[in-house]
Chain A
């Protein structure tokens, strides 16, 4: 066997055995610094070398070759004529602008000018030093076609990301995340807590460790990810060391976040007291009854609950980064501690993260890389939802007429007292410090990579990756609080472990023939197996809140646990061909098998083709001097969405129901052995251009993405015992136009001169449901899925104002006119809005002068609506008596003839006026100054004296200014467009210092 390999390689090697001469030289940048690790290749051959620690190389150049090709990441590739030379000094110029950067597409990296697919790239410059917990927050407005929203201001909470619209109704809609080439986990792994504030494991990655983020959008890019690519792919590449002097950077940040409630304003105690007396009076209560229910004495002990619940959150960040190396070994290491206090009391997030990326070149043929990233975070979660202690529900809804302290004792009310009239029966000011929700997450993300060059143009890479997540959490309810009183205190503890193992084998090949033909190809085998395990236990009966362990419980309360698995096996092939570097073609195919799919449909094939044409390199264009780059691109292909439950295809009985403490079982789901992935067909066409000396450059793209065989939880008759069944039915289409524009209105003539750079992107997406089972509507809360309408179409009765005669509500009636009855058929509902914006845009302006720089980043989303359910509760015309009320509720119908926006408030509400209707649907368009940074780089002359590389000081603000007509807390809502007492996003100011030596 051995002999055969030896023989084959000898044959292949024979091709290079010919006459040659030895050439020595050096590579440096414009300032004379040696470039270490630059690639030097004899043109038209596979003979090449890498420059050493002094930037020097020695190359055996075959006879007849008189040109060297010298390339280095971040620099323009240069061809050097070496006719008759024995030594040569090469000076490389820095690459300018995005257009010549390397774009990482997960399985490979491509020079941006050779890119056929649609990829948005966000570089480290835009990611660095922004005090946010996870990468998704940083993407907002930075990449065309990416729509990011925050539904919660809880530090570390999950963000929602949609790439080129919403492509599915019930299956997952999040993009796939790839870190350093490997598909990784995302989302919430907490077993006890699944609310909107739950921590996202992506928050375990330190944004300052990221070199670039590429968002893959079209078929040629996403087809490589087959059954998991259809929602787009976010490819994160972490920083790696460069050979040269070791650079050490110390970063420090200190900031503060202030609560911000937008246009949302509550009545103070006196206003609420007057309002509720008015409600009683309107309901025909006698003065005596009114005085009894709302006596003046209620004003003696009042509370501004919002003021109590929200305060300034402090942010600290300290970090150390070091990178360097020689021609053999390069390293990047970093360690950081990030601590962000929430604006809501009792909520915060802190993270300790360590990273080391090492690359070693063992020989001309063999190289290794090891990435190690370990991080540990602690989140104190301001639980939302139905828990008594939730400060979110309590702060917004508790009446200001309730004092926080009990006048009889001078102590805080617990909420259990008979005279406590707060809605939830719990005073969060008392219970929150006692009842804790701690979520501790550890994530280890590590990858070993080995590459062996079989031939100069054939390499084999084996990657092995471990993504290990463990979550350890403890919930405690003190015996003296409403949540704990029944159990005399209770504690729940859970431990969860998620393990994803990936093996990836890649074979890469490239060749050129003639002068004009370049060809490369890649074959990949990938295997991923994921196991999720959790167990939890609870105890009750606690003597003291200081003993937060299960051992301290008087008796056990519950014990539970489960585990689940899934696996993917994939084969992937891709080929690229270029003619004269002007015409490019690419084609790919991927075959995926998944344990999630039904037995009848376990394997899927996905494919794509694409091409590009570099017009600007054509002879007929050379006369048009103003045009630097002009390139047309187009692609078509398929990808899939496999984001469904692990066992959705099986008909199952579940165990967990119990009667008389004996085990019980019940049908858990209706099976469907045909169940399979959703299929997405994508067309993309784009134009890249750069004109006027590259001072104006950009991209315009059109796409049409059709998702078919949607995995739908189709509603079925409840007489079956189920309300939904999962089937592959339905089609959704997203079409859109995206534009990115980079301008350099002012370019300095000399170093340090005034410079102005503008980055702008805008994305229009039109979403439409094309097909539903039997063409029937599917109701979705305040929305409906209906053929021909967008996925997030609001479906509500139309509010027709207030009857001036008697102050009762009116709605639009059937066949025109108005009606005062809400209970008439609900099919009077109409499509009245869309929760997804017509367009989103980001505008970044950077001004630099001498060491000073000012960057202002605006973000806007326009043309979407939010159903303001918080307002439906707090402006409910007397229905929610004894709650807090919005200030606006006070303006209402009073006398016959009044044209009023709000009906007369009455006890029990006014004829159901608070029922869902367009009364609470609002335009939520907004413009926000998302980020503004003022920075100062200390002069280089000082640095040399101080023996430092650089010192940078900066101050930056987040969300400092917002323009919106929306009356609620924040116009930025998740895709459901439903605002319901959420954790608001604050405004923050941060000071920072970077020192590099």
Chain B
């Protein structure tokens, strides 16, 4: 009976059906569920690395957030032949859809989420208390850093507005999708100070590439300065200046040859394996890369002969001047580990805080400690008042992401003395410190989805 042949076929079909239903429950091979990913201290340490990685995003400390405060000011100019990066920031043609601005917002809150998931899960997992404290402290400090960066970027400066009513940015302390409204500038600063103070108590020093209690203190010094809390700024800066583990570098060129200088309090370490190629930080500045953003006479004229910091600027064969702070690291062109906080800034913070408290002699001493170390002559007095301190900050911290903020928070109008030449893109030659354009627009993408979000004035 030939018909028997049907039996194996039917058997095949009938046995196959139930056998493969379990195949519908498949799981990915590269990812874990959130519960599994945050289940113990080791897992949280991994998640904390993810938060540091969030800080390194291209739109944040990878490049954007360090470059924008320079292209918006007068120490750098945008070459007329350029790769079309940062044009809006140099010309102040902001739109609410601006990619650089949107990236700061998006990358910032992504890092905050990563930090929050660590902070809010660490207490519940088993593990060594000291280890847990360290993990939590670093995450708190990262959360504070990002909130501080967002508020100074998207809101009026604390010292140049009404912080108790000016809108800051939403404070985000837990994971989840919502439509949060903007907290006031004062509320954001209060959260930043609270997080940093808590972090300081939990942390121990693990080197300059991660948040230490010293790094939290140093960031507090900067936050107090931005708040105009001169006494606390001076005190915090003094703690760092008095700390024997830090010393001003003997050689600025060597300091900018790579990470690991004695000055560094917090450095975001980039490994050679994190090479972004043409998008490495330095490549926006140097001829081997895009070389779009070049050094103005405004900055070059600030240096006197013998000032070692002038050697960080180099002249190229096309007779243009370029920034040499981020030439290469580990043999990778343009790769850099940005020094987020270094000791020189503490001297400058203390000098400014003392100057504002009319402790002029002490302030002058701080400035001269730094100048002498850099091979410049000591100042006899603040002949030009606060401008002398501002210029010293520019000599020292140019291209490190401070310049525009320094103008706005001190209510100083920004003037581009080198303006309208044939080598640079046409752009405004002055910018009032009270202009709406000094406050960045809230990204359109956020306005579109968040009913509680209020746009900044003028956009």
List residues of A whose CB falls within 8 A of some B CB.
2, 5-6, 9, 280, 283-285, 289-290, 292-293, 363, 365-366, 386, 388, 416, 418-419, 421, 423, 425, 450, 452, 454, 460, 462, 483, 485-487, 503, 505, 525, 527, 529, 558, 562-567, 569, 593-595, 599, 602, 646-647, 650-668, 670-671, 715-723, 725, 776-779, 822-823, 825-826, 879-882, 906-908, 912, 915
**Whole-angstrom distance between the alpha carbons of A445 and B6 in the complex?**
27
Majority-rule SS of A interface residues = mixed
CB-contacts of B17-54 with A (<8 A): 17, 20-21, 23-34, 36-38, 43, 46-54
A595, A663, A826: the one contacting B26 at CB < 8 Å is: A595
Whether a CB of chain A sits under 8 angstroms from the CB of B275 is yes
Interface CB pairs A-B, < 8 A, 5 = A283-B426, A365-B5, A567-B26, A655-B31, A662-B46
Are A665 and B287 in contact, CB atoms less than 8 angstroms apart?
no
Are A661 and B271 in contact, CB atoms less than 8 angstroms apart?
yes
Are B420 and A284 in contact, CB atoms less than 8 angstroms apart?
yes
**Chain A residues with CB under 8 A of B25:** 595, 599
Stretch of B77-85, B221-229, B377-385 on the interface side: B77-85
Whether a CB of chain A sits under 8 angstroms from the CB of B401 is no
Please, which residue of chain B has its CB at the minimum distance from the CB of A668? B31
**Whole-angstrom distance between the alpha carbons of A907 and B27 in the complex?**
55
- Whether A656 touches B16, Cβ cut-off 8 Å, given contacts A290-B422, A716-B449, A823-B94, is no
Are B9 and A452 in contact, CB atoms less than 8 angstroms apart?
yes
Whether a CB of chain A sits under 8 angstroms from the CB of B180 is yes
Are A719 and B31 in contact, CB atoms less than 8 angstroms apart?
no
**Whole-angstrom distance between the alpha carbons of A365 and B288 in the complex?**
75
Whether a CB of chain A sits under 8 angstroms from the CB of B403 is no
Please, which residue of chain B has its CB at the minimum distance from the CB of A455? B3
**Whole-angstrom distance between the alpha carbons of A529 and B25 in the complex?**
12
**Chain B residues with CB under 8 A of A388:** 278
Whether a CB of chain A sits under 8 angstroms from the CB of B65 is no
Q: Mark B58-82, 1 if CB is under 8 A from A, else 0.
A: 0000000000000000000000110
Please, which residue of chain A has its CB at the minimum distance from the CB of B117? A667
Please, which residue of chain B has its CB at the minimum distance from the CB of A784? B448
**Chain A residues with CB under 8 A of B20:** 527, 529, 567, 569
Are B450 and A717 in contact, CB atoms less than 8 angstroms apart?
yes
- Whether A823 touches B6, Cβ cut-off 8 Å, given contacts A717-B446, A721-B113, is no
Stretch of B125-133, B170-178, B360-368 on the interface side: B170-178
Are A563 and B422 in contact, CB atoms less than 8 angstroms apart?
no
Are A717 and B180 in contact, CB atoms less than 8 angstroms apart?
yes
Please, which residue of chain B has its CB at the minimum distance from the CB of A283? B426
- Whether A719 touches B448, Cβ cut-off 8 Å, given contacts A418-B316, A566-B26, is no
- Whether A9 touches B3, Cβ cut-off 8 Å, given contacts A486-B332, A716-B177, is yes
Are A421 and B81 in contact, CB atoms less than 8 angstroms apart?
yes
**Chain A residues with CB under 8 A of B274:** 658
Please, which residue of chain A has its CB at the minimum distance from the CB of B116? A721
From A525, A558, A658, A880, residue with most partner B Cβ within 10 Å: A658
Closest 6 pairs (CB-CB, A-B): A721-B113, A653-B37, A664-B49, A657-B53, A882-B81, A666-B50
Are A567 and B30 in contact, CB atoms less than 8 angstroms apart?
no
**Chain A residues with CB under 8 A of B271:** 658, 660-661
Are B23 and A525 in contact, CB atoms less than 8 angstroms apart?
no
Are B172 and A719 in contact, CB atoms less than 8 angstroms apart?
yes
- Whether A647 touches B28, Cβ cut-off 8 Å, given contacts A653-B37, A723-B106, is yes
Are B13 and A881 in contact, CB atoms less than 8 angstroms apart?
no
Please, which residue of chain B has its CB at the minimum distance from the CB of A462? B9
Are B93 and A912 in contact, CB atoms less than 8 angstroms apart?
yes
Please, which residue of chain A has its CB at the minimum distance from the CB of B111? A721
Are B110 and A721 in contact, CB atoms less than 8 angstroms apart?
yes
**Whole-angstrom distance between the alpha carbons of A659 and B268 in the complex?**
9
Name the distance in Å between A906's Cβ and chain B's nearest Cβ. Answer: 6
A366, A529, A654, A717: the one contacting B23 at CB < 8 Å is: A529
Are A907 and B49 in contact, CB atoms less than 8 angstroms apart?
no
Are A663 and B46 in contact, CB atoms less than 8 angstroms apart?
yes
Inter-chain pairs besides A365-B2, A657-B54, A879-B84, 14 sampled, C-beta below 8 Å: A9-B3, A386-B278, A418-B317, A505-B9, A569-B24, A595-B23, A652-B31, A652-B33, A653-B33, A658-B49, A667-B175, A721-B109, A721-B114, A778-B448
Whether a CB of chain A sits under 8 angstroms from the CB of B4 is yes
Please, which residue of chain B has its CB at the minimum distance from the CB of A723? B106
Are A880 and B179 in contact, CB atoms less than 8 angstroms apart?
no
Please, which residue of chain B has its CB at the minimum distance from the CB of A657? B53
Whether a CB of chain A sits under 8 angstroms from the CB of B351 is no
Whether a CB of chain A sits under 8 angstroms from the CB of B12 is yes
Whether a CB of chain A sits under 8 angstroms from the CB of B7 is yes
**Chain A residues with CB under 8 A of B2:** 363, 365-366
**Chain A residues with CB under 8 A of B9:** 450, 452, 460, 462, 505
List residues of B whose CB falls within 8 A of some A CB.
1-7, 9-10, 12-13, 16-17, 20-21, 23-34, 36-38, 43, 46-54, 56, 80-81, 83-84, 87, 91, 93-97, 105-106, 109-110, 112-114, 117, 170, 172, 175-180, 209-210, 269, 271, 273-275, 277-278, 287-288, 290, 316-318, 332-334, 420-423, 425-427, 443-446, 448-450, 453, 459
**Chain B residues with CB under 8 A of A651:** 33-34
**Whole-angstrom distance between the alpha carbons of A907 and B425 in the complex?**
6
Please, which residue of chain A has its CB at the minimum distance from the CB of B333? A486
- Whether A826 touches B177, Cβ cut-off 8 Å, given contacts A363-B2, A562-B29, is no
Please, which residue of chain A has its CB at the minimum distance from the CB of B458? A823
**Whole-angstrom distance between the alpha carbons of A602 and B26 in the complex?**
12
Name the distance in Å between B207's Cβ and chain A's nearest Cβ. Answer: 9
**Chain A residues with CB under 8 A of B53:** 657-659, 664, 666
Are A654 and B448 in contact, CB atoms less than 8 angstroms apart?
no
Please, which residue of chain B has its CB at the minimum distance from the CB of A664? B49
- Whether A569 touches B95, Cβ cut-off 8 Å, given contacts A285-B422, A651-B34, A721-B114, is no
**Chain B residues with CB under 8 A of A9:** 1, 3
- Whether A289 touches B109, Cβ cut-off 8 Å, given contacts A565-B26, A822-B95, is no
- Whether A655 touches B113, Cβ cut-off 8 Å, given contacts A826-B444, A915-B95, is no
Please, which residue of chain B has its CB at the minimum distance from the CB of A653? B37
B13, B28, B425: the one contacting A652 at CB < 8 Å is: B28
**Whole-angstrom distance between the alpha carbons of A721 and B446 in the complex?**
12
Please, which residue of chain A has its CB at the minimum distance from the CB of B115? A721
**Chain A residues with CB under 8 A of B80:** 293, 881-882, 907-908
**Chain A residues with CB under 8 A of B26:** 565-567, 595, 646-647
Name the distance in Å between B131's Cβ and chain A's nearest Cβ. Answer: 15
**Whole-angstrom distance between the alpha carbons of A684 and B152 in the complex?**
59
**Whole-angstrom distance between the alpha carbons of A664 and B93 in the complex?**
37
**Whole-angstrom distance between the alpha carbons of A822 and B7 in the complex?**
76
B4, B16, B426: the one contacting A908 at CB < 8 Å is: B426
**Whole-angstrom distance between the alpha carbons of A657 and B47 in the complex?**
9
Are B12 and A717 in contact, CB atoms less than 8 angstroms apart?
no
**Whole-angstrom distance between the alpha carbons of A776 and B445 in the complex?**
12
**Chain B residues with CB under 8 A of A525:** 13, 16-17
- Whether A720 touches B87, Cβ cut-off 8 Å, given contacts A651-B34, A664-B52, A666-B47, is no
**Whole-angstrom distance between the alpha carbons of A880 and B1 in the complex?**
83
**Chain A residues with CB under 8 A of B52:** 659-660, 664
Are A647 and B16 in contact, CB atoms less than 8 angstroms apart?
no
- Whether A460 touches B6, Cβ cut-off 8 Å, given contacts A423-B83, A667-B34, A719-B172, is yes
A366, A567, A664, A716: the one contacting B24 at CB < 8 Å is: A567
Please, which residue of chain B has its CB at the minimum distance from the CB of A912? B93
**Whole-angstrom distance between the alpha carbons of A662 and B207 in the complex?**
15
**Chain B residues with CB under 8 A of A593:** 21, 24
Name the distance in Å between B76's Cβ and chain A's nearest Cβ. Answer: 15
A454, A668, A912: the one contacting B3 at CB < 8 Å is: A454
**Chain A residues with CB under 8 A of B179:** 717
Please, which residue of chain A has its CB at the minimum distance from the CB of B49? A664
Name the distance in Å between B65's Cβ and chain A's nearest Cβ. Answer: 15
Are A653 and B32 in contact, CB atoms less than 8 angstroms apart?
yes
Name the distance in Å between B294's Cβ and chain A's nearest Cβ. Answer: 14
**Whole-angstrom distance between the alpha carbons of A363 and B179 in the complex?**
71
**Chain B residues with CB under 8 A of A529:** 20, 23
